[in-house]
Structure 1
């Protein structure tokens, strides 16, 4: 069997990265640089790294973040009550393995959305299935799914997500349908998956925002009691950006 046939068979077996590297080595005649074991390990490592990179790219695309955010780029210099040691520990994603939640609250412009997306991006890089959405947009989508009969299917998708990020929670008071949807989501994920919530409103006001005492109690009991809390302070970071423009 000649080398070109080997390359073609690797491609047919969907070992494309391995095939490409082997093809390059055929052209440069680098076989003598390795023992047989070393060469096989080199090809296998290259294929594995390529698949991992593609997996991370798929997870990030599917998460549907609205901006590129990275844990490495977080600015801790602003006085906004963000503890670097605590956030670095959370970025290790032990909370996802423990099925715990995170709640980040604070006024508009202090960087809540960036922080939750940075954690979401980190989750994707570590192989966790992640979904990001503004709360209002997700509720609108699920209300439509109730009408077209796909509601249970959409709930299962969320239930199978390792990390669900609900941004801008509570900007609008919930109607009866929204309350039921949020309870379904949170109840499915309770002790099974992690949920990350950001809100301009303090948690103490969520009871009234959700409305209907029994449902509000059920949602908050499942969401808040198993959560890490970050309460950001300070002025909007956007003010400094506008001053410098």
Structure 2
């Protein structure tokens, strides 16, 4: 391959063709492909490469700390968890196509984040744009946006995600302005985008950190109107070491 052709392939971002040029030529010489089939094969390979690159970029931009997937969730260690319900929801993909929220509620260590992340990864695999963020970080970003007058920009950013995973709701108390902005974000995403939430507190306890009865009630109403609530309160901690004796 000459330098000019290399330059053109790089400009067109046909990395797969550039990398496999000699392999394709060798296949053509051996008669493994007709001219039409060879071109089709090259296009198929480029398509697969670009699709995978796009997926990897979406995962990178989602800022997921641990790439949990459904296949590795230890359902056998959570006998009280409704596995059938969760997998039916996951497989149907209604949570994305119908913009339904999913809320996991239960104590620390039972695997709420792992399951929520698996749903987020599932959405990303289907070419949706997603984001993982912990509740304390989200509320801090919203709070700072007031100081530098970037509320509109920040709100627009978090509204742009097709699937937004807010982890650890309830771990920190928030200021009134943060509660207001969080409610606004959830209100604007309502029935338009999917939101995944994990919380160590039941809804009746949300006033303890939101500290506004009216907004808390309105927020819960918005979140649960078009949602699935996964109760994990009776699940065991997955952080406990298994007994070697079985």
TM-score where L is the length of structure 2: 0.89
Q: Runs of at least 4 residues of structure 1 off by over 4 A? A: 2-8
**Equivalent-residue separation in structure 2 for 1:86 and 1:54 (angstroms):** 32
Q: CA deviation at 1:29?
A: 4.9
Q: Residues 99 and 194 of structure 2 are in contact (CA less than 8 Å); yes or no, is this contact kept in structure 1?
A: yes
**Equivalent-residue separation in structure 2 for 1:81 and 1:57 (angstroms):** 34
Q: CA deviation at 1:217?
A: 2.6
Partner of 1:45: 44
Partner of 1:237: 238
SS in 2 for 1:239: coil
Q: CA deviation at 1:108?
A: 1.1
- Which consecutive residues of structure 1, in runs of 5 or more, have no partner in the other structure? none
- 1:188-203 aligned at under 5 Å gives the runs 188-203=188-203
Partner of 1:104: 104
Q: Residues 166 and 195 of structure 2 are in contact (CA less than 8 Å); yes or no, is this contact kept in structure 1?
A: yes
Question: Alignment RMSD, CA only?
Answer: 2.1
TM-score where L is the length of structure 1: 0.90
**Equivalent-residue separation in structure 1 for 2:216 and 2:22 (angstroms):** 61
Q: CA deviation at 1:213?
A: 3.1
**Equivalent-residue separation in structure 1 for 2:206 and 2:235 (angstroms):** 21
Q: Residues 234 and 217 of structure 1: is their aligned pair in 2 closer, same or farther, counting only changes over 3 Å?
A: closer
Q: Residues 230 and 80 of structure 1: is their aligned pair in 2 closer, same or farther, counting only changes over 3 Å?
A: farther
Q: Residues 29 and 229 of structure 1: is their aligned pair in 2 closer, same or farther, counting only changes over 3 Å?
A: closer
SS in 2 for 1:143: helix
Confirm or deny that 1:156 pairs with 2:141. Answer: no
Q: Residues 16 and 45 of structure 2 are in contact (CA less than 8 Å); yes or no, is this contact kept in structure 1?
A: yes
Q: CA deviation at 1:115?
A: 1.2
Q: Residues 212 and 240 of structure 1: is their aligned pair in 2 closer, same or farther, counting only changes over 3 Å?
A: same
